[in-house]
Amino acid sequence: MTILLCNIGSRDIAWNKLPEITGRSSRASGQQLLAQLDALAARVRLPMVGKALRSIQGKGAIDQVILIASDQGDAPASEGDRKAWESDTIFIAQALARLLAMGVDGCAPIVPERIAVWLIGAGDEGRDPSDYDGVRRFLEAQLPALAQQHPEGPVYLEVTGGTPAMSIGLLIAGSAVFGDRATALYIQERYEQPATLNTSRRLAAGPLRSALRSHARSYDYSAALALLKEHRGSITDRLHTGAAEALEALLGYASCRFNFDFPGAHAALGGGVDRAGDGRWRAELLALHHEVARPDRETTLAEVFYGAAARFDTCAWADFLTQVVRFQENAFRTMCLQRGVRFLDFSGNPVDDGAKLDMAWAAQVGFSPRSDMLGRTGMERLIEHLARRSGENIRPTMALLGELEGLARLRNGLTHSLRGVHESDLAQAFGGRQAAQILPHLAACLTALTGRTPSATTPFQRVNALVGRLLTEA
């Protein structure tokens, strides 16, 4: 008898293959997938469960599949609790159960009666999928009956999906109940074959590191740092001397830098974080530290480009549009500052990022705006006025920035409505060109403004590569 238990999370479906699914939460996306399942089944890809199934089915039939998901009941009244409720994976698991019975993504069909969905619900004990003890108790209550029904044969624990609490709970409870029968599987994005771990501590280390890498790949450095602090012993077991300290500092740095908090990023890598090691990461850490030491405006504008690239990489379209608009507006401001424009804060002090134009300065250059509050359009007029006075040809640069206007209008429309956004919306707003062409266009704008060509490797990609090396065992 062969059993497969899978923790189900939002990444168990390759959503980028299903543009019809526009839900912005696990609950909403799962509901949409269920409603359209028959039409979409042939295109569904199962990046985690599929790899586990194909591997196990290559050795023989599976007698029981358990999909472990979350359902915290009715929608909570408070906005704070609603985010956790929206992350429930009940509908993703229900869709998966039907898909496994159909046999999709190269998996052999499984008899529906051999597929079950277990729901971690609110219940009398207040369990939720992020409650480590609650999830563990839930599984410790469920698994013994399964072991009695299937007393022999291998048991596979696919622990990559779901919350960290679900990963740890299934590892601990599954190993305790099934003993030597249990083999933990964790899925790596670039490999088709699942990796296996065989001891309790080692069982915990691999999936946790995989989860940490996954958080880093999706630029969720705060979650990666929280995971490291919560499971420091398991994650850092057998790493090189000094790696744990460097990893914690690096993730703190990346979390700040991703949110444009340069002082926080600078402080996170301060103090010689490699002093406990042998110096193997020192050059990279010093370079990252230097990049946020005293960034000028042009460097910070490039950082907006890198931030936009990261958000495009994760298909965070609304956040990506925000960065595009931020880039455009600050590009105009940079052009103003390059030409000597004076901005003031609300107290009348000269500040480069001030919201008001210095009207006395404007009068000296013969510019008469309707208001001292300049938006993008006002800055455009001011730049063109100054160019006419100096005989400067700014048309190529202004034309490049003008091509972003459709994206700015799309973002403003989203801000004042409750509708969603898809990659195709970006393409339409960018004059019908492919959305993937937006980033090269932003790079061209940056080069025209500053003379600098953005690095082909973003700082966050370099951070993630270093995270991977820090997690390599000695």
Residues 6+ apart with CB under 8 A from 153: 1, 2, 3, 63, 181
User: Is the same domain home to 310 and 273?
Assistant: no
The C-alpha atoms of residue 49 and residue 9 are separated, in whole angstroms, by 10
The C-alpha atoms of residue 268 and residue 256 are separated, in whole angstroms, by 8
CB atoms within 10 A of CB 289: 19
> For the chain, what is the largest distance between any 2 Cα atoms, rounded to a whole number of angstroms?
89
pLDDT at 365: 93
343-344 vs 155-158, strand pairing mode: unpaired
Residue 473 lies in a domain: no
Q: What is the CATH number of the domain that holds 179?
A: 3.40.50
Dihedral in degrees, nearest 10, Cα atoms 69, 74, 79, 84: -10
The reported pTM is: 0.60
Give the ranges where 190-242 is alpha helix by DSSP (H). 200-217, 221-230, 232-235
Number of domains within the chain: 3
Q: Which domain holds residue 242?
A: 230-295
User: Is the same domain home to 392 and 380?
Assistant: yes
User: Is the same domain home to 76 and 113?
Assistant: yes
CA distances (Å), origin 443, targets 320, 349, 436: 15, 33, 12
User: Is the same domain home to 291 and 305?
Assistant: no
User: Is the same domain home to 69 and 18?
Assistant: yes
User: Is the same domain home to 119 and 250?
Assistant: no
The C-alpha atoms of residue 288 and residue 351 are separated, in whole angstroms, by 28
Give the residue among 443, 442, 425 at the shortest CA–CA distance from 434: 425
User: Is the same domain home to 174 and 146?
Assistant: yes
User: Is the same domain home to 43 and 191?
Assistant: yes
The rounded Cα 411 to chain-centroid distance in angstroms is 20
Last residue of a domain, one of 277, 295, 313: 295
The C-alpha atoms of residue 426 and residue 435 are separated, in whole angstroms, by 6
Residue 389 lies in a domain: yes
User: Is the same domain home to 285 and 433?
Assistant: no
Last residue of a domain, one of 263, 295, 327: 295
pLDDT at 338: 94
User: Where is 71: in which H helix or E strand?
Assistant: strand 64-71
Last residue of a domain, one of 262, 295, 328: 295
User: Is the same domain home to 84 and 175?
Assistant: yes
User: Is the same domain home to 77 and 153?
Assistant: yes
Q: Are 276 and 242 in contact (CB under 8 A)?
A: yes
pLDDT at 96: 96
Q: pLDDT in tens for each of the 474 residues of the chain? A: 899 999 999 989 998 889 999 888 899 999 999 999 999 999 999 999 999 999 999 999 899 999 999 998 888 877 777 888 888 999 999 999 999 999 999 999 999 999 999 999 755 455 688 888 999 999 999 999 999 999 999 999 999 999 999 999 998 899 878 876 888 898 988 889 998 866 545 666 788 899 999 999 999 999 999 999 987 877 898 899 899 999 999 999 999 999 999 999 999 988 656 565 667 888 899 999 999 998 999 999 999 999 999 999 999 999 999 999 999 999 999 999 999 999 999 999 999 999 999 999 999 999 989 888 988 889 999 999 999 999 999 999 999 999 999 999 999 999 999 999 999 999 999 998 999 999 999 999 999 999 999 999 999 999 999 999 999 987
Residue 137 lies in a domain: yes
pLDDT at 124: 46
The rounded Cα 263 to chain-centroid distance in angstroms is 23
Indicate left, alpha or beta for 60 from its phi (over 0: left) and psi (-120 to 50: alpha).
Answer: left
pLDDT at 196: 83
User: Is the same domain home to 236 and 172?
Assistant: no
What residue has token string 């008001």? Answer: 356
